[in-house]
């Protein structure tokens, strides 16, 4: 999301069109939300804290976000939107299982590293999602897992991948990707290079040896 940490909602030109103003306000609220949740934790952060950080009144803040839980859900939807668009595009490409899995790992790795602050908040605070959001999130995660499993299964059927348990393999891959944002910054490489290294490591363990 565009960085606006040095400006406030009040800084925007009042003559700006509604779309520009709404986008600006959303970015400020999302950024301040992540900053506060990282620093204080979800439960210790109040809407008053958020309003003060955004430099708006509490009633004005409620015009854009109805609650902290709604803000957390908005953060998830906004930050993952482009990622799932990329994954949908990859899913539709006519690639072999090895290339598809490689691209999946690289894209998810780069996304996770880029959004490390959000993911730190997300994994720590996701229990605060309401019931409907939790169910939707669980379904999206299952769908994603099933897609990765299908890639592994396809590779095994074609004789490209070793005949390992495809679910264990999938959970291992997704488990590594779910933590990459915690350690990648310790490595003197770009997010793309780190993600490519991880993808090559996974593929080297999955691919059938050349005959």
Environment class of 199 (CB within 10 Å of its CB; exposed 0-12, middle 13-18, buried 19+): buried
d(CA 93, CA 111): 20
Environment class of 132 (CB within 10 Å of its CB; exposed 0-12, middle 13-18, buried 19+): exposed
CB 109 within 8 A of CB 198: yes
Q: Which of 65, 75, 63, 73 is nearest to 35 (CA)?
A: 75
pLDDT at 4 over 80: no
Most confidently modeled of 51-55, 128-132, 173-177? 173-177
Structural domains in the chain? 9-65 (1.10.10.60), 69-206 (1.10.357.10)
pLDDT at 1 over 90: no
pLDDT at 2: 42
pLDDT band at 11 (very low <50, low <70, confident <90, very high): low
What does the pLDDT look like over 137-186, one tens digit per residue? 999 999 999 999 999 999 999 999 999 999 999 999 999 999 999 999 99
pLDDT band at 60 (very low <50, low <70, confident <90, very high): confident
The whole-model pTM stands at 0.84
- Percentage above 90 pLDDT, the chain: 65
């Amino acid at each position: 999301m565009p960085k606006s940490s040095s400006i406030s909602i009040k800084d925007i030109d009042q003559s700006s069109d509604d779309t520009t103003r709404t986008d600006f306000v959303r970015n400020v609220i999302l950024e301040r939300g992540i900053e506060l949740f990282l620093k204080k934790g979800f439960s210790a952060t109040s809407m008053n804290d958020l309003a003060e950080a955004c430099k708006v009144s509490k009633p004005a803040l409620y015009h854009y976000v109805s609650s902290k839980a709604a803000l957390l859900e908005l953060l998830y939807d906004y930050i993952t939107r482009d990622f799932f668009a990329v994954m949908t595009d990859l899913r539709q490409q006519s690639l072999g299982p090895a290339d598809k899995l490689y691209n999946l790992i690289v894209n998810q790795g780069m996304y996770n590293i880029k959004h490390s602050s959000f993911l730190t908040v997300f994994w720590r605070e996701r229990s605060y999602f309401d019931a409907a959001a939790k169910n939707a999130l669980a379904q999206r995660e299952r769908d994603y897992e099933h897609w990765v499993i299908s890639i592994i299964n396809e590779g095994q059927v074609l004789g490209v991948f070793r005949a390992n348990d495809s679910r264990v393999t999938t959970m291992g891959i997704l488990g590594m990707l779910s933590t990459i944002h915690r350690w990648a910054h310790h490595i003197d490489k770009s997010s793309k290079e780190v993600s490519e290294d991880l993808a090559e490591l996974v593929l080297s363990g999955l691919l059938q040896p050349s005959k």
